[in-house]
Amino acid sequence: MKKSIQFIYIGMFIILIMVPVLLFSVIGKKLDTTSYENRTLATMPTLSPETITTFPSSFESYFNDNLPFKNQLVFLNGLFDYRVMKTSSSDSVIVGKHGWLFYKGAQVNDEDPVSDYNGSNLFTDDQLKTIAQNMVAAKEELASRNMDFVIMIAPNKERVYSEYMPSIYGEPAAWGRMAQVVDYLKNNTDLKVVCPYDQIMAYREAHPSDQLYYKYDTHWNNLGAYIGGQALNKTLGFDMPSLDTLNQIEGSVPRYDLATLIHLGNVLEDDPAYVLDGYTTHKAEIKKNDTATEFRGTVQDGAADDRKLFIIGDSFSTMMFQYVACNFDSSYLNFYYNYNLDMLEKEKPDVVVYETVERYLNNMLHFSITDGIEADAEQ
């Protein structure tokens, strides 16, 4: 009798294991099996005398990565966490008030938006001196090549939309890394430093219904990027029309990075995505590479400033690029971790902009205009 019950249990267990596999083999092609993880998934290992000891662990990795209905199960878990528990299924994402998502950071490249927010990761005096020395050295090297140099710092979303941060995080610290660096560079060097935080907050106060950063993404949207670009343009010698005079056209909804991290990229779409029109009479034609880390802007000859612009930036530069490139006949943008001196010598720009978002300020400790970012400091 006991053996019969054991056989029944074994049979039920096998059925429970095999049914999803068989079902998936029939309808799997109709389901979303795309990998949204930023890594290469494990492949089916080969069993041989040489791999006999590693095969079990390799097969386990393969099975976990290719589990039938994995995306659907992960999605349901993410949806339950977000809608019901008001929590995140990702260690890198914070669920804030009214469903707003914030980036906690991947603990890579010293990025820590929460510490930026509460001011617990302030730079030391020696670190501030190093940042200043690196940036001044960049300015001097570029000046020797008859190139101008401008630094731009974009504020973190957590600081701009602090009212949606969970109450446990409190109010943002008035004195954080961003304020430190801007204050130190302006008071101890002759560097041109642009930080559009005040302009962004002033616009928010005057136009509370306009959203400047995405609800489900780490980045500013076209409105926020325009304010940033407007501030940069002013330093570069160009006046741009006020944002509230432009046409805001509803655009296509992007795949929001934070929503994707909690596996809800196809669900959380109630987030305004506007396209701006009327900011210039000579828009730049923008072309980008396959990985969207290299951009080139071109304006019809004679329609804009004949100087050439080169931006060493991050993902915050990409949205802003169109609002700056329109003022130059030729513009070029590449991400800081790709930058090298060969690019500079090839492009031969007249103006170089180093742009960084607040959470990447640590890169300034390691930046050199001749050597780029040190390998161990890259994102």
The share of the chain scoring above pLDDT 70, in percent, equals 79
* Alpha helical stretches, state H, 239-326: 257-261, 315-325
Query: Which of residues 59 and 305 earns the better pLDDT score?
Result: 305
Instruction: Give 144-197 pLDDT, tens digit per residue.
Output: 999 999 999 999 999 999 999 999 999 999 999 999 999 999 999 999 999 999
Answer whether 351's CB lies under 8 Å from 147's CB: yes
Which pLDDT does position 3 carry in this prediction? 58
Nearest to 257 by CA among 146, 121, 102: 102
Which pLDDT does position 182 carry in this prediction? 98
Q: Is the pLDDT of residue 59 over 80?
A: no
Sequence-distant contacts of 68-74: CB under 8 A, at least 24 apart: 68/20, 68/21, 68/23, 68/24, 68/28, 69/20, 69/24, 69/31, 71/31, 71/32, 71/33, 71/34, 71/36, 71/263, 72/31, 72/32, 74/263
Least confident piece of the model among 41-45, 234-238, 241-245, 306-310: 41-45
pLDDT band at 41; cut points 50, 70, 90: low
Pairing of strands 192-194, 148-154: parallel
pLDDT band at 5; cut points 50, 70, 90: low
Task: Please state, in angstroms and rounded to a whole number, the distance separating the CA atoms of residues 105 and 255.
Answer: 19
Which pLDDT does position 19 carry in this prediction? 52
Query: Which of residues 79 and 135 earns the better pLDDT score?
Result: 135
Tokens 């097969």 correspond to what residue? 59
Question: For the residues 131-138, what does the mean pLDDT come to?
Answer: 98
Q: Is the pLDDT of residue 4 over 70?
A: no
Q: Is the pLDDT of residue 15 over 70?
A: no
Least confident piece of the model among 25-29, 113-117, 359-363: 25-29
Query: Which of residues 253 and 322 earns the better pLDDT score?
Result: 322
Instruction: Give 22-40 pLDDT, tens digit per residue.
Output: 444 444 444 455 555 555 6
Question: For the residues 77-84, what does the mean pLDDT come to?
Answer: 74
The share of the chain scoring above pLDDT 90, in percent, equals 66
Which pLDDT does position 62 carry in this prediction? 62
Task: Please state, in angstroms and rounded to a whole number, the distance separating the CA atoms of residues 275 and 257.
Answer: 19
CA distances from 362 to 62, 281, 336, 359 (A): 37, 38, 12, 8
Output the CA torsion 199→200→204→205 (10° steps): -30
Q: Is the pLDDT of residue 65 over 70?
A: no
Which pLDDT does position 60 carry in this prediction? 60
pLDDT band at 82; cut points 50, 70, 90: confident
